[in-house]
Amino acid sequence: FSGVRVTMSGVLLVVLLVFTIVCKGYDEACTVHPKDPVIKMGSDIQIFFTAPLRSPCRNISSFNPDQLFWKLNDERIPEDQYSAINSTVFAVHIRNFTRRSGFVMCYMNVDGRDTVFGGTHIMPPQKPTNISCVLFFSTAFTCYWDVGRNTFLYTTYTLIREVLWKERGKQKLNENETCQSKTNECTFGDGNVYHFDVHTVVIKAENVLGKVYSEKQHLDPMTVVKTSPPEGVVITPMLKKVIRVKWKTAHELRGHSYLTLICQVKSQESDSNTTVIHTVTNGWTEMLDIQDVKLCTSYIVSVQCSLNGSIYWSDWSKESTALSLMDVEFVQLHLWRKIKAPTSEGDRAVLLMWKSIYYGCDLVQGYKLTIEEMNGQVETITFSLSNMRTLRNVSKKAHELRIVAYSSNSTTSEAAVTIPALGEALPPVVGVQAYPHSGQIFVSWNSSDIPVNKYVIDWSVDWSNYDWEETKATNISIKDKLERFRLYSIAVTPIYDEGPGQEAIIHTYLEEGEPGKIPLVKALDIKATEAAIKWTEVPENERRGFIRNYTVFYRKEEGPELSITVSSDILEHHLSHLEPNTKYTLHVMASTNAGGSNSSTVVFRTLKYDSSFIKAISVIGGLGILLMVAMGISCFILVRKILFPEVPSPRISSIGVW
């Protein structure tokens, strides 16, 4: 839909009508016209509604031109003012229109309901409000305002500026001190004013319906003055954790040093979103030393200024960047150590670590590490700036370790840590807990009964690559550079007045995943109804979580799958109640909290007969053979006696004696 606007020139008013229907596939549209007419107050106007025979509105089943009616500001226009020009054009005649504003709406009764085709509301201009002005020093004077509602008419705005020269004690209206605009702002090209001037501004809005003036706004120009931003901002890094910022005052202010100038210096670390504002109450000094900056850190600086009493600041100057100096006097190093298990002789391998400091700064040349054995030898080693750790061997005696960063003419304060003599460490903390949450690992422990200066928490996924933090609290959140599916070894070491205590170690994962495959599964000691299943552990670097249990899955051909679950410390299981001479397939699944993974499939066949059965058969067979041999010998002897009876020898007969 679109509308027809009726506008009265002269004193005021505009009215309008509605309705345009456009639909693809039709030759013509239903329209209300004339479109946006402008009329004089008290004149007549005729509004037309055109509904061509091939227009979409004609397709309405209940379309009836006799049901058309018109309203003006929601008041029905008498039907004697309606007329039909022809079968497609219908009109309403409005006489002596004197209202200041109004709607002319076209309706049709469609299926028993009054349906509006459209409308437009035209209003005279509203009084401009919310006037604000800016005096661009020596350049321009600009005012802004709120124009109010949209009148849909061509409207011009005239900004009138009256200046009262206090020094002369009179008010002079300069007719040339006006400017015209079609928008909500207007600018005088003259920005040269004196601080004793008083300005009065008023806005006139005017269109064919009339004109209206805003309320007068009285301004002290010095409260709305805005200067250009400072120029030539330069940063000079200084020692003692200072950067010096210098700038040049905006060119149009030079020569006006009798005015009070206030400046602000904004500083920000280049890798941070946090800004710090420093105020300079005497901006004419054009310099500020920013204290206590971070060492060897890139800073971004810009400056803005304002005349005292003004509500406006200049825009920020162009940014300037510089790197603060490395002043070794203020460097605080942090040193820590990890001790391996001792050898049989009591010697220990110690990994020494210190915090990296400021690779980009040239003033630090390197590190000096001193290892002093109690009542023994002292060793000093020098390291380059890029070295942050070293592996050293120490004896079973107590040792003190000290490190400094050095430059050509100074060194940092020492960082020190001790290694207790073998077997002489102080008590550890208790109740250590660790759990992952939202990409972090939270570690907590119980406070000690012995006063503790601080706690050192170190963590690693392997012995050679540690991170560590210090805290005085009994909890810490680890969140930097953590890896998923890696086992973290976390140690908490209390530092007492007398030295470090024993470390308390706990293991955890940031996030668990499905473990890797079990490398090897074997079926051993296979019998007719039994078999021993053995497997190897998932390699530590492939576990991706804590192995909670192992599950042995096995089945015979065309039979259901059976399973048995054992704890993670068991690496074998004895299957029983198997069927003889049967082919079985099996695999073993290792499970973490995140899921499980299966080993390769193993196939074996049970024996047809158990070994005990074979042994029994062998024994019975052996006994049978022995029995048969014995029976054969007995039969042989018996047959021999029958077939070959024994005859007495005459030589030994007693008859010979006779």
Which domain CATH number covers 363?
Answer: 2.60.40.10
Of residues 491 and 656, more confidence is placed in 491
Q: Are residues 104 and 24 in the same domain?
A: yes
Are 12 and 41 in contact by the 8 Å Cβ rule? The answer is yes
- At which residue do the structure tokens 């670097």 appear? 541
Of residues 16 and 33, more confidence is placed in 33
Residue 177 lies in a domain: yes
Percent of the chain with pLDDT over 90: 41
Last residue of a domain, one of 363, 394, 419: 419
- At which residue do the structure tokens 């206590």 appear? 292
pLDDT of residue 149: 74
Q: Are residues 314 and 357 in the same domain?
A: no
Task: Show the tokens assigned to 296.
Answer: 């060897």
Q: Are residues 532 and 569 in the same domain?
A: yes
Residue 135: strand pairing partners: 141, 225
Ranking 25-39, 49-63, 142-156, 403-417 by mean pLDDT, the lowest is 25-39
Average pLDDT, rounded, for the chain:
83
Average pLDDT over residues 480-508: 91
Residue 642 lies in a domain: no
Most confident of 96-110, 119-133, 205-219, 415-429: 415-429
Phi, psi of 232 (to 5 degrees): 55, 45
pLDDT of residue 227: 92
Which residues of 516-571 form beta strands (DSSP E)?
Answer: 521-524, 531-535, 549-556, 562-567
Could you tell me how far CA 231 lies from the centroid of its own chain?
37
Are 391 and 349 in contact by the 8 Å Cβ rule? The answer is yes
Q: Are residues 439 and 504 in the same domain?
A: yes
The answer on pLDDT for 609 being more than 50 is yes
Q: Are residues 161 and 208 in the same domain?
A: yes
Are 280 and 269 in contact by the 8 Å Cβ rule? The answer is no
β-sheet with 433-437: strand ranges across: 433-437, 440-444, 475-478
Last residue of a domain, one of 276, 294, 325: 325
> Predicted confidence band at 47 (pLDDT cuts at 50, 70, 90)?
confident
Residue 17 lies in a domain: yes
Ranking 46-55, 158-167, 449-458, 603-612 by mean pLDDT, the lowest is 158-167
Last residue of a domain, one of 172, 198, 225: 225
Of residues 137 and 563, more confidence is placed in 563
Of residues 26 and 372, more confidence is placed in 372
Average pLDDT over residues 520-539: 92
Residues 394, 417: Cα–Cα separation, whole Å:
14
Percent of the chain with pLDDT over 70: 84
Q: Are residues 379 and 340 in the same domain?
A: yes
Residue 504's alpha-carbon distances to 359, 370, 433, 500, in angstroms, are 33, 27, 10, 12
The answer on pLDDT for 192 being more than 70 is no
322-373 tens-digit pLDDT: 988 877 777 778 899 998 889 988 899 999 998 865 545 666 778 899 999 9
Are 268 and 229 in contact by the 8 Å Cβ rule? The answer is no
Q: Are residues 207 and 233 in the same domain?
A: no
DSSP 146-208: E--S--SS--EEEEEEEEEETTTTEEE--TT-EEEESSSEEEES-----TTEEEEEEEEEEET
Largest CA distance in the chain: 201
Task: Show the tokens assigned to 487.
Answer: 């086992």
Report the DSSP pairing between strands 602-605 and 583-592: antiparallel
Could you tell me how far CA 141 lies from the centroid of its own chain?
45
Of residues 355 and 146, more confidence is placed in 146
How many residues are given for the chain?
Answer: 658
pLDDT of residue 6: 45
Task: Show the tokens assigned to 181.
Answer: 């605009």
Residue 621 lies in a domain: no
> Predicted confidence band at 176 (pLDDT cuts at 50, 70, 90)?
low
Q: Are residues 37 and 101 in the same domain?
A: yes
The total domain count for the chain is: 6
Q: Are residues 298 and 349 in the same domain?
A: no
Q: Which of helix, strand or coil describes residue 354?
A: strand
Are 20 and 2 in contact by the 8 Å Cβ rule? The answer is yes
> Predicted confidence band at 513 (pLDDT cuts at 50, 70, 90)?
very high
Phi, psi of 15 (to 5 degrees): -135, 165
Residue 427's alpha-carbon distances to 350, 424, 430, 443, 469, in angstroms, are 20, 9, 9, 19, 20
Q: Are residues 116 and 12 in the same domain?
A: yes
Query: Long-range pairs for 443-448 at CB < 8 Å and ≥24 separation?
Result: 443/475, 443/476, 443/477, 443/478, 443/490, 443/492, 443/506, 444/474, 444/475, 444/476, 445/474, 445/475, 445/492, 445/504, 446/474, 447/474, 448/494, 448/501
**Nearest in space to 490 (alpha carbons), one of 446, 447, 444:** 444
pLDDT of residue 12: 36
pLDDT of residue 511: 92
Ranking 64-68, 177-181, 307-311, 389-393 by mean pLDDT, the lowest is 64-68
Q: Is 73 left (phi over 0), alpha (psi -120 to 50) or beta?
A: left
The answer on pLDDT for 566 being more than 70 is yes
Residue 184 lies in a domain: yes
Of residues 358 and 87, more confidence is placed in 87
Q: Which of helix, strand or coil describes residue 620?
A: helix
Report the DSSP pairing between strands 225-226 and 129-136: parallel
Residues 179, 159: Cα–Cα separation, whole Å:
5
**Nearest in space to 445 (alpha carbons), one of 458, 427, 433:** 433
Residue 426 lies in a domain: no
Cα-based angle 403, 390, 475 (whole degrees, multiple of 5):
75
627: part of which helix (H) or strand (E)? helix 611-643
Residue 614 lies in a domain: no
Q: Are residues 220 and 231 in the same domain?
A: no
**Nearest in space to 218 (alpha carbons), one of 152, 143, 272:** 143
Ranking 22-31, 98-107, 293-302, 604-613 by mean pLDDT, the lowest is 22-31
Burial class for 648, CB neighbours closer than 10 Å (0-12, 13-18, 19+)? exposed
By residue range, what is the domain housing residue 149? 129-225
Q: Are residues 231 and 221 in the same domain?
A: no
Neighbour count for residue 281 (Cβ, 10 Å): 10
> Predicted confidence band at 656 (pLDDT cuts at 50, 70, 90)?
very low
Side chain identity, residue 47 = I
**Nearest in space to 445 (alpha carbons), one of 487, 467, 475:** 475
Q: Which of helix, strand or coil describes residue 531?
A: strand
> Predicted confidence band at 35 (pLDDT cuts at 50, 70, 90)?
low
> Predicted confidence band at 386 (pLDDT cuts at 50, 70, 90)?
confident
No. of helices (H) and no. of strands (E), the chain = 1, 53
Residue 626 lies in a domain: no
The answer on pLDDT for 37 being more than 50 is yes
225-273 tens-digit pLDDT: 999 999 999 999 988 889 999 999 998 888 888 889 999 999 999 888 9
69: part of which helix (H) or strand (E)? strand 68-72
The DSSP symbol for 273 reads S
- At which residue do the structure tokens 């992952």 appear? 436
